[in-house]
Structure formats: C-alpha cells, structure tokens
Amino acid sequence: MEQTRTPASDLSLMDAFIVSTICFGLFIATSTQAMLAGYPDAEFSDASNIYGILTELVLAVCALLYLRARRFDLRPLYPRPDWIGALQGAAIYVVAVALALLATGPLVADDGSAPMVAFSFEGVSLTSTVAFAIVNGTFEEVFLLGVLVRGLKGHGVLFAAGLSLLVRLLYHTYQGPVGAVSVLAFGLVLTAFYVRTGRLWPVVFAHILGDIVPVVLSQG
C-alpha cells in the first residue's frame, strides 16, 4: 500500500535560497542598481503600482508552485483576516514606526534633515495605493515570515529571523542608508511578533498600513 507524504514545515537552506531568489531576486537586483547609481529619488505612480502588483502575483505563483513541489505545507501561508488581528496590526504598526524613528534619530542633522531618498507619490490614486499595499504587504510577509522564518526554524529561531531580516534589508537598499535602517527596525518588530505568535494576519495588516499611511500623509 502506497503511503502519502505529509506536507513538511521545514525548508532546506537550498530551498530557502531558491524561494528567496524567486520572490526577491529581481527587487534585490534593482535595489543594488539604485545603490550603485547613488540612490536616485523613488517615484511612484498608478502605473508602477499596477506593475508591482502583477509582478508580485506572478512571482508568488512561481514560488508557491515550487514550494508545493517540495511538499512544503502551504496551509499556514494564507492570512485569515479578523478585526482583532487588524487592531493588533495597527498596534504593531505604531510600535514599528516608533522604533524606526528612534533608530534613525541619530542620523538626522541638527536642522532636521536626513540623508534619505526622496519619495514622490504625486498623482498616485488611493485605489492603486490600497491595491498595491494589500498585495505587497501580503506578498512580503507571507514569504519572509510564513516561509523563511517558519521554514528555517529547525536551524534556530535567531538564524531564521536573521536571514529573513537580511533578505528584507537587501531589497530595500534603494531607500538609502537611513531608509535601510528604518526598514530593518520596522521589520524587526514584525518578525518578533510573528516568532512569538505564529500569526500572519496582524503583521500583514501592519505592513499594509506601512504602505498606505506615508502616501496619504504626503498627499495631505
């Protein structure tokens, strides 16, 4: 009698590398290019949001197909929205922003300026912003936390969390040194919550807020 294989929750280092390359390799390459070009200003538009949505959806499908072929348990990767989790996510967002401000504070000059990449959201609609935030927040946290952190726990929680944070940092280097510090601080809070609870929805919601709030504030 043939035995069925139970989906696994562990990833090999090679599997983690392949999934990271599928999901974030393109973004790491473009961030590296921006870094070598001297950190040009980042301009966002409805077209760039749509491009980002389509790109991440294609990459997500490719990564999920690979993980399914490797018998990785996909069931915990689907966030389950609820109001309590949304409130937790809002609290996580506030804490993450506070830590990011605290971490980047020493890098701010006496006149209040900081060596940061300028972000332009001129003409970006709220509809495309929200759509991109939902897809991007889900995409990043599902694969950074739901796959890398959960899948690599067998190698040690600190190793799993550290590798996830490193990948997060690498594809955000286009934001410049101050932006990278801010991203690292923000990601640290989200990662700590996930490691403690194993819940994806609150951190996904926190990330969604992180993509929406700066756009709304800049246009307000």
Question: How high is the pLDDT of residue 53?
Answer: 98
Write out the chain's pLDDT in tens, 220 residues.
Answer: 444 555 778 999 999 999 999 999 999 999 999 999 988 888 899 999 999 999 999 999 999 999 999 999 999 999 999 999 999 999 999 999 999 999 988 877 655 555 667 788 888 999 999 999 999 999 999 999 999 999 999 999 999 999 999 999 999 999 988 999 999 999 999 999 999 999 999 999 999 999 999 999 887 6
Q: Where are the beta strands (DSSP E) in the chain?
A: 42-43, 119-120
Candidates 4, 1, 19; CA nearest to 152 is 19
Q: Where are the domains of the chain?
A: 13-72+82-219
Long-range (24+ apart) CB contacts under 8 A made by 159-168 are 161/191, 161/192, 161/195, 163/16, 164/191, 165/191, 167/20, 167/24, 167/28, 168/140, 168/144
Structure tokens at 35: 């870094």
Looking at residue 95, its pLDDT comes to: 98
The answer to whether 74 touches 147, Cβ cutoff 8 Å, is no
At residue 171, φ and ψ (nearest 5 deg) are -90, 5
User: Which pLDDT belongs to residue 107?
Assistant: 75
| pTM score | 0.92
What pLDDT sits at residue 220? 63
Nearest of 207, 202, 160, 159 to residue 187 by alpha carbon: 207
